[in-house]
Amino acid sequence: MVNASGRRRVGVAVVGLGGAVATTAVAGVELMRRGANSMSGLPLADVAVPGLAGYEDLVFGGWDVNGQSLAAAAAEHHVLNDNQLADTEDALSRVTPWKAVASSAFCRRVGGSNMREMRGHRAAIDAIISDIQQFKVANDLDDVVMINLASTERTPVEGEALRTADGFQRALDQDDPDIGPAMLYAAAAIEAGVAYGNFTPSVAADIPGLTELAERRGVPVAGKDGKTGQTLLKTVLAPALRARALHVDGWFSTNILGNRDGQALEDPDSLKSKLGTKGNVLDSILGYKVEDHLVDIRYYRPRGDDKEAWDNIDVSGFLGHRMQIKVNFLCKDSVLAAPLVLEIARVLDLARQRGEGGPQEQLSLFFKAPMTAGRRAPEHAFHRQERMLSDWLEGNAGR
Amino acid sequence: MVNASGRRRVGVAVVGLGGAVATTAVAGVELMRRGANSMSGLPLADVAVPGLAGYEDLVFGGWDVNGQSLAAAAAEHHVLNDNQLADTEDALSRVTPWKAVASSAFCRRVGGSNMREMRGHRAAIDAIISDIQQFKVANDLDDVVMINLASTERTPVEGEALRTADGFQRALDQDDPDIGPAMLYAAAAIEAGVAYGNFTPSVAADIPGLTELAERRGVPVAGKDGKTGQTLLKTVLAPALRARALHVDGWFSTNILGNRDGQALEDPDSLKSKLGTKGNVLDSILGYKVEDHLVDIRYYRPRGDDKEAWDNIDVSGFLGHRMQIKVNFLCKDSVLAAPLVLEIARVLDLARQRGEGGPQEQLSLFFKAPMTAGRRAPEHAFHRQERMLSDWLEGNAGR
Amino acid sequence: MVNASGRRRVGVAVVGLGGAVATTAVAGVELMRRGANSMSGLPLADVAVPGLAGYEDLVFGGWDVNGQSLAAAAAEHHVLNDNQLADTEDALSRVTPWKAVASSAFCRRVGGSNMREMRGHRAAIDAIISDIQQFKVANDLDDVVMINLASTERTPVEGEALRTADGFQRALDQDDPDIGPAMLYAAAAIEAGVAYGNFTPSVAADIPGLTELAERRGVPVAGKDGKTGQTLLKTVLAPALRARALHVDGWFSTNILGNRDGQALEDPDSLKSKLGTKGNVLDSILGYKVEDHLVDIRYYRPRGDDKEAWDNIDVSGFLGHRMQIKVNFLCKDSVLAAPLVLEIARVLDLARQRGEGGPQEQLSLFFKAPMTAGRRAPEHAFHRQERMLSDWLEGNAGR
Amino acid sequence: MVNASGRRRVGVAVVGLGGAVATTAVAGVELMRRGANSMSGLPLADVAVPGLAGYEDLVFGGWDVNGQSLAAAAAEHHVLNDNQLADTEDALSRVTPWKAVASSAFCRRVGGSNMREMRGHRAAIDAIISDIQQFKVANDLDDVVMINLASTERTPVEGEALRTADGFQRALDQDDPDIGPAMLYAAAAIEAGVAYGNFTPSVAADIPGLTELAERRGVPVAGKDGKTGQTLLKTVLAPALRARALHVDGWFSTNILGNRDGQALEDPDSLKSKLGTKGNVLDSILGYKVEDHLVDIRYYRPRGDDKEAWDNIDVSGFLGHRMQIKVNFLCKDSVLAAPLVLEIARVLDLARQRGEGGPQEQLSLFFKAPMTAGRRAPEHAFHRQERMLSDWLEGNAGR
User: Which of C319, C324, C346 has the most D C-beta neighbours within 10 Å, making it the best mutation to test the interface with D?
Assistant: C319
C328 contact B CB<8A:
yes
Contact B318 A40 (CB under 8 A): yes
> Residue B245 is which amino acid?
A
- Provide the pLDDT for residue D3: 47
Residue D344 · residue D337 · CB < 8 Å: no
Please give the pLDDT value at position B157: 82
Q: Which residues contact A106 (CB under 8 A, 6 or more apart)?
A: A153, A154, A156, A180, A181, A182, A202
pLDDT single digits (tens) A324-371: 999 999 999 999 999 999 999 999 999 999 999 999 999 999 999 999
Instruction: Tell me if B2 is assigned to some domain.
Output: no
> Could you tell me the pLDDT band of residue D152, with boundaries at 50, 70 and 90?
confident
Q: Is residue B4 part of a domain?
A: no
| Number of domains into which chain B is organized | 2
Shortest Cα–Cα distance, C303 to chain B (Å) = 14
State how far the Cα of B70 lies from the Cα of B340, in Å rounded to an integer.
Answer: 19
Q: How far apart are CA D150 and CA A370, in angstroms?
A: 57
Distance, in Å, from the CA atom of B226 to the CA atom of B223, rounded to the nearest integer, reads: 8
Residue type, A370: P
**What's the gap in Å between the CA of A252 and the closest CA on chain C?**
8
In a domain, B90, yes or no: yes
Provide the edge-to-edge strand list for the sheet that holds A10-15.
A58-63, A10-15, A143-148, A195-198, A220-223, A358-359
User: What average pLDDT score do residues C173-187 get?
Assistant: 93
Option in C249, C256, C298 nearest A302 (CB): C249
Interface contact B237-A236, CB threshold 8 A: yes
Is the CB of C302 less than 8 angstroms away from the CB of A292?
Answer: yes
Output the pLDDT for position D398. Answer: 34
Distances (CA, A) of A398 to A2, A45, B354, D120, D212: 19, 19, 39, 78, 85
Query: Chain B to chain D, count of Cβ pairs less than 8 Å apart?
Result: 53
- Regarding whether C187 and C73 lie in a shared domain, the answer is yes
Q: Residue B90, SS3?
A: helix
pLDDT of residue B101: 84
Are C145 and C74 members of one domain? yes
Last residue of a domain, one of D332, D352, D374: D332
Q: Give the integer Cα–Cα distance in Å for A147 and A342.
A: 10
At residue A5, the pLDDT reads 55
CA–CA separation, C315 vs C321, rounded Å? 8
C1 lies in some domain: no
* Beta carbons within 8 Å of D175's beta carbon, 6+ residues apart: D120, D121
**C343 shares its domain with C380:** yes
C-beta atoms surrounding B81 within 10 Å: 14
Q: Which residues of chain B have pLDDT under 70?
A: 1-6, 103-111, 118, 270, 273-274, 276-279, 396-399
| Interstrand relation of D292-299 and D306-316 (parallel, antiparallel or unpaired) | unpaired
Residues spanned by the domain of D131: 10-226+335-395
Q: A3 lies in a domain?
A: no
Q: Look up the CATH number of the domain holding residue A284.
A: 3.30.360.10
Angle formed by the axes of helices D20-33 and D70-77, nearest 10°:
110
Q: Which residues of C touch A254 (CB under 8 A)?
A: 254, 296, 310
Q: Return the CATH number at B101.
A: 3.40.50.720
Chain C, nearest residue to A303 by Cα = C314
A69 and A149 inside one domain: yes
- From D279, D306, D332, the end of a domain falls on D332
pLDDT tens per residue, range A306-322: 899 999 999 999 999 99
Q: What pLDDT score was predicted for residue C285?
A: 94
pLDDT at residue C1, as a whole number: 45
Domain identity same for B273 and B379: no
Do the Cβ atoms of C42 and D338 come within 8 Å? Answer: no
Q: What is the pLDDT of residue D170?
A: 93
- Place A389 in a pLDDT band, splitting at 50, 70 and 90: very high
Task: Provide, as residue numbers in chain B, all residues whose Cβ is less than 8 Å from the Cβ of A319.
Answer: 24, 27-28, 31, 37, 40-41, 80, 84, 335
Domain annotation covers residue B1: no
D83 touches chain A (CB under 8 A): yes
Q: Are residues A96 and A221 in the same domain?
A: yes
DSSP helix/strand/coil, B303:
helix
CA–CA dist C271, C263 (Å, integer): 10
Residue of A78, A82, A306 best to disrupt the D interface, most CBs of D under 10 A: A82
Chain C partners within 8 Å of A250 (Cβ): 300-303
Buried b (16+ CB within 10 A) or exposed e, C57-80: bbbbbbbbbbbbbbbbbbbebebb
Let me know whether C216 and C132 are in one domain.
yes
pLDDT bin (cut points 50, 70, 90) of residue C151 is confident
| pLDDT 10s digits, C67-85 | 999 999 999 999 999 899 9
User: How does DSSP assign A197-237, residue by residue?
Assistant: EE-SSS-STTSHHHHHHHHHHT-EEEESSB--SHHHHHHHH
What is the rounded CA–CA span in Å between residue D145 and residue A99?
Answer: 64
| Mean pLDDT, residues A176-190 taken together | 94
**Does one domain contain both B67 and B193?**
yes
Query: What are the DSSP E strand ranges found in chain C?
Result: 10-15, 58-63, 143-148, 195-198, 220-223, 247-257, 292-299, 306-316, 322-332, 358-359
Q: Which of A278, A304, A332 is the last residue of a domain?
A: A332
Residues of A in contact with B245 (CB under 8 A): 39-43, 45, 339
Q: Are residues A270 and A363 in the same domain?
A: no
pLDDT of residue A111: 65
B349 vs A103: which has the higher pLDDT:
B349
Report CB contact under 8 Å: B236, A237.
Answer: yes
Which of C 305-324 lie inside 8 A of D, CB atoms?
316-321, 323-324
User: ipTM for the complex?
Assistant: 0.93
Both D49 and D66 in a single domain?
A: yes
pTM value is: 0.93
Residues B21 and B159 in one domain: yes
What confidence score (pLDDT) does residue C375 get?
A: 77
Average model confidence (pLDDT) across chain D: 90
What's the distance, Cα to Cα, between the start and end of chain B in Å?
A: 15
CB proximity list for B207: less than 8 A, separation 6 or greater: B161, B162, B163, B168, B183
Q: Which residues pair with C59 in a beta bridge?
A: C11
Residue C2 lies in a domain: no
Nearest chain B Cα distance for residue A365, angstroms: 10
What is the arithmetic mean of pLDDT over C159-181?
A: 89
Average per-residue pLDDT in chain A? 90
Distance from CA of C76 to the nearest CA of A (A): 19
Q: Residue A316 pairs with which residues in a beta bridge?
A: A247, A322
Which is nearest to A208 in space by CA: A164, A145, A270, A160?
A164
Whether A4 is in a domain gets the answer no
Give the pLDDT score at B339: 97
Per-residue pLDDT, averaged over A74-84, amounts to 92
pLDDT at A93 over 60: yes
Query: What number is the average pLDDT over the span C268-276?
Result: 71
D237 and D222 in a common domain: no
For the stretch C283-337, pLDDT in tens is 999 999 998 999 998 999 998 888 999 999 999 999 999 999 999 999 999 999 9
Query: Using only C-alpha atoms, what is the Rg of chain D?
Result: 20
| In chain B, residues 227-246 whose CB comes closer than 8 Å to chain A | 232-233, 236-237, 239-240, 243-246
